[in-house]
Amino acid sequence: MTSTKTKNLFPNRLKSALELRQMKAIELSNLTGITRGALSSYLSGRWAPKQNNIYKIANALNVEESWLMGYDTPINKDSSYNKNTNEYQYIPYAVSAGELTEIDGINFYNKLSVPDLLMGKYAGNKNIVLMPVNGESMNNVIANGSIIAVLTKTPLECIHDNDIVVIRHNGDYTVKRFYNDVLHQEYVFKPDSTNLAFRDIVFNYDNTEDLELIGKVVMYSVML
């Protein structure tokens, strides 16, 4: 049973945690599986969350459950947010920043540690995978050989024009900028390169059966 203390203090604590982690309610909903309507009611104070949902929210925001519930405890969960680094699954196959390139049988071999400072609000997110990039079609922003952090399980409604995404088509992977051409009913994946020879990859709305959105690129390293 949720206490009166939780019901009274939870909305402000939740708002503070969302601001601190620079996260929107829709992102929290996607991470936790809690409906947007329920989160809206929590934020307004109309409803008090059940304990299992408090756990989900605290885990997604990387804060202490007791702090969310209104108790006078540190916000950071076992100081894990301040431990400076988190480990992420690393896919040891280069995703193409050129033409579509096949990645046979992805296996998760090792984990790489990345400073939380670089990952920002995505620090510790279990849906992040790391991949090396191969090719020059995104060299205006992502150099050949860079490491990208990809937020998997990102729903299409959270992908916006100009976002950088990783897609798979018929077993082939590539990284490009995303554009939703509503007028022509096409999804367009554009290169961002100094080499103008790279071409757009275009899928009609009615021809996306073999197109899979792997995720949104939320961080990339640039080696100088």
Q: What is the pLDDT of residue 31?
A: 87
Q: pTM of the full predicted structure?
A: 0.60
Least confident of 1-15, 138-152, 172-186: 1-15
Please spell the DSSP secondary structure of 107-135, one letter per residue.
---EEEEEEHHHHGGGTT-TTEEEEEEES
Element (H, E) at 57: helix 51-61
CA gap 163, 190 in Å, rounded: 10
Calculate mean pLDDT across residues 184-208. Answer: 93
Query: For 147-164, what is each residue's pLDDT tens digit?
Result: 899 998 888 888 999 999
Task: State the average pLDDT for the chain.
Answer: 82
Query: Is 25's pLDDT higher than 80?
Result: yes
Query: Is 60's pLDDT higher than 60?
Result: yes
Q: Do the beta carbons of residue 86 and residue 121 sit within 8 Å?
A: no
Q: Which residue has the higher pLDDT, 109 or 224?
A: 109
CA gap 150, 165 in Å, rounded: 8
pLDDT band at 204 (very low <50, low <70, confident <90, very high): very high
Q: What Å distances lie between residue 142 and 1, 93, 121, CA to CA?
A: 49, 16, 20
Q: What Å distances lie between residue 146 and 120, 143, 163, 193, CA to CA?
A: 18, 6, 17, 15
Q: For the chain, give me the number of helices (H) and strands (E)?
A: 6, 11
Query: Is 124's pLDDT higher than 90?
Result: no
CA gap 28, 31 in Å, rounded: 5
Query: For 63-106, what is each residue's pLDDT tens digit?
Result: 888 888 887 777 876 544 445 788 888 876 656 555 444 344 44
DSSP state of 45: T
pLDDT band at 123 (very low <50, low <70, confident <90, very high): confident
Calculate mean pLDDT across residues 104-113. Answer: 59
Query: Is 21's pLDDT higher than 60?
Result: yes
- In 3D space, the residue among 177, 37, 41 whose CA is nearest the CA of residue 97 turns out to be 177
